[in-house]
Structure 1
């Protein structure tokens, strides 16, 4: 059975709902929202339906169903628990040429209530013809994640400008190009940012622009640590709207797979010891594509504002007049700790947490080692795999207890995640014995003792017995192969 999709104006029109239970309640709620004049026929009502009756929001017939009640209504909903009653209502409604919906009975229904995505005045309805309602609901949930709530304001603005747009652009092709710019350019960006007055002014300016050239923009998006399930909804929407994606080398393939299929992907990751794209070249690429009218996503591992050079890129964009916005991501410290079962703060162990990076000598010289060596705090060290011996020496030298626990999380949140645990006195030796490689995050502090008891993701932590190996050459016996990708290296290269 193929249905004809139809949106109905029920404002101030009479609708009869037969039934007073939870299902009828859901139907009545949607009808009232559409402005219908609803009458409910049922001897008993749910508390919410009873409240609406008392408020005067709907009428109530408590007596048994009467055929005459069908004479003046536009639609009928049969939501009783008795199939014979529902069938009778459907038959009588059909004789009067009334559309009827019989809940959970597609064969008796002449119209079906779809799963709805509400971005008023924009409405998206999904129907399976009553055959697979759960599938329709699943699709609605997926689409909900892709469609920003600002679309309603965008539709309202477009409706207000529509007469003038038709006068300004008499040719359909020119009108279509203007709408494409309106819906995907700076106006849409301003509405997403909640700046409605500026969006209206930008739309007015675009309408008055004789050349009507499309303007590009840049969105800095945090890709998270690698697990695509940790990408934010706003980040997903940005990827689906991108024309060009400038991504770090170690942004996971699973995250990139969520992007629009025809988007141009350009790898701009940096890696020590090999040819890479410089930060200045990244700036130039953002400027080139934005000035060409494209929607650019600068996709960074973790969060763009935590050791990701996001601030530098925004300063560049602002200096060159390029519209931008930022979508935060789950940074490595939060993700790796969570996936290793290590709380960064804990009432009994740590009242503060410090995020730091130690990937070069400059970092060593600027860090306050005496403060970092204090107890009852957690250190989350980014990009420190190559400097673990120095970190260990400096912290011990400034008084941090040799027995301070650590958890070293490699490829956090990914399928090949590994966690190595031990004490500060063993840090460099255990990392070498297990051949830990970047990307890996070091968590140092009393909370790291919980890695063993609270572990829930991937293989159990590698801790006990490592001292028996003695040398890094034994790493091949204890180490599983891992990929050379991950969020921390991506942050380092950003």
Structure 2
């Protein structure tokens, strides 16, 4: 992050603008909207700036800049064509520890003006740090188009009631839950349609709602790694969570989408390390939910595909805790797609079978005769540790030694690595892959070289 976004209160603050041309006028107009006291230094004023002076909205204090004018000045904008003067102003402001912006010269700016979307009191500021102004304009257009004009009225009414709501709901979590429910309700629609009285009446009734602190457990599938594969519903839930229990396999990009003030607890498991047990995870989920918190269990891929999601919602059901499940793109589907391997191409495969490389705790034994049917693609989750044993079993029960295989490490991420080989080469090639890894067995693997598209 090259710039830290800040919102400054400029009301009645002394702002110094050097220059009074068209560019300076644009900056002055923006400053006046924030109720700043604008002092101008310039040899002459353009007609627009002169109009502001005549209307007594600004003060013209001098034709020449002198550092004495910086006394009690909050920030400075230099909008002149004199490069030497601009450099001097930049240096002096830095010496005085005053924010300065030399217009159209990013290297001489201690702050920059963002692109602003104004739905006062809601303000959205966008910036590319000067790197891509056209992209920034396109983003602003998209955001402008989806934000209702009356959105600011929603915030204004909420602001008027904030003190009363705080007095009514002493518990912070109750207050937050109240506002979350209100802003998702018809309250907002009333305001956007101009029915403010109806909105206020609805707000008054909502104050007396009960069960604001009823806890909930939500299982969310994060997908195989690429944060762009997280579902829209998954993103919404992450933004509402009070606490998130996540696995080691969740990428940092996905974790960055969690609401900033939500508590995060890593409950992942890693081979060879002391790990939290599933029973302990279940107990933690229930304990947090019973405190009235919205608890998100964030899992790689899909919660119900080798994710032990069934065990977690069973525990929630027994504890009479409300729960939801937000599906995710399971690793087999996501990683195969990013590897250019169509799992059920009809020329090579009649179907696909998903199994896990981990041994079952319930004594289930794989039906190797079915798994060795060459007309099916076989996808093995967490297969690297048991890859040698799996290979031997498949060959023993009839799969050809020359069956194509793909081992994909860190799939869908910028570190994705795909190695293609034969079933009897598995012991050799697994050493070249960094976990987590997915193993695909079948003729469809041959399409990788033809269809690969995700280049890292």
What range is the shorter-chain TM-score in? Answer: 0.5 to 0.7
Matched with 2:168 is 174
User: In 2, distance between residues paired with 1:368 and 1:206?
Assistant: 58
Q: CA deviation at 1:213?
A: 5.9
Q: CA deviation at 1:221?
A: 0.8
List runs of 5+ in structure 1 lacking aligned partners.
5-113, 118-123, 145-151, 190-202, 460-494
**Structure 1 residue 139 and structure 2 residue 143: aligned?**
yes
Q: CA deviation at 1:458?
A: 3.2
Matched with 1:344 is 343
Q: CA deviation at 1:233?
A: 1.2
User: In 2, distance between residues paired with 1:425 and 1:364?
Assistant: 27
1:339-364, CA deviations, whole angstroms, 9 ceiling, x for partnerless residues?
11100111201120111112227699
Would you say the 8 A contact 1:126–1:136 is kept in 2? Answer: no
2:442 pairs with 419, 440, 445, which one? Answer: 445
User: In 2, distance between residues paired with 1:321 and 1:364?
Assistant: 30
1:420-478, CA deviations, whole angstroms, 9 ceiling, x for partnerless residues?
1112122223324x2x242110111110001112112235xxxxxxxxxxxxxxxxxxx
Q: SS of the counterpart of 2:420? A: strand
Matched with 2:276 is 277
Distance 1:143 1:427, change over 3 A: farther
Q: CA deviation at 1:371?
A: 0.7
User: In 2, distance between residues paired with 1:234 and 1:378?
Assistant: 30
Distance 1:143 1:296, change over 3 A: farther
User: In 1, distance between residues paired with 2:288 and 2:362?
Assistant: 34
**Structure 1 residue 253 and structure 2 residue 247: aligned?**
no
Q: CA deviation at 1:183?
A: 4.8
1:5-59, CA deviations, whole angstroms, 9 ceiling, x for partnerless residues?
xxxxxxxxxxxxxxxxxxxxxxxxxxxxxxxxxxxxxxxxxxxxxxxxxxxxxxx
- Within a 5 Å distance, the mapping from 1:186-197 to structure 2 comes to none
Matched with 1:380 is 379
1:310-329, CA deviations, whole angstroms, 9 ceiling, x for partnerless residues?
01111111111212111111
User: In 2, distance between residues paired with 1:265 and 1:142?
Assistant: 31
- Within a 5 Å distance, the mapping from 1:62-211 to structure 2 comes to 134-139=138-143, 173-174=167-168, 180-184=176-180, 207=208, 209=210
Matched with 1:404 is 403
Q: CA deviation at 1:208?
A: 6.4
Q: CA deviation at 1:337?
A: 0.4
Distance 1:359 1:422, change over 3 A: same
Would you say the 8 A contact 1:219–1:298 is kept in 2? Answer: yes
Would you say the 8 A contact 1:185–1:216 is kept in 2? Answer: no
Distance 1:348 1:142, change over 3 A: farther
Distance 1:204 1:392, change over 3 A: farther
User: In 2, distance between residues paired with 1:310 and 1:445?
Assistant: 28
Distance 1:141 1:308, change over 3 A: farther
User: In 2, distance between residues paired with 1:252 and 1:142?
Assistant: 29
User: In 2, distance between residues paired with 1:142 and 1:236?
Assistant: 18
Q: SS of the counterpart of 1:380? A: strand
Distance 1:364 1:357, change over 3 A: farther
Length, aligned pairs only: 307
- Within a 5 Å distance, the mapping from 1:44-63 to structure 2 comes to none
Q: CA deviation at 1:186?
A: 12
Distance 1:279 1:170, change over 3 A: same
Q: CA deviation at 1:294?
A: 1.6
Query: Over the residues paired in the alignment, what is the CA RMSD in angstroms?
Result: 3.8
List runs of 5+ in structure 2 lacking aligned partners.
1-28, 34-115, 127-133, 186-203
- Within a 5 Å distance, the mapping from 1:281-430 to structure 2 comes to 281-360=280-359, 366-430=365-429
Q: CA deviation at 1:179?
A: 6.0
Q: SS of the counterpart of 1:236? A: helix
Q: SS of the counterpart of 1:386? A: coil
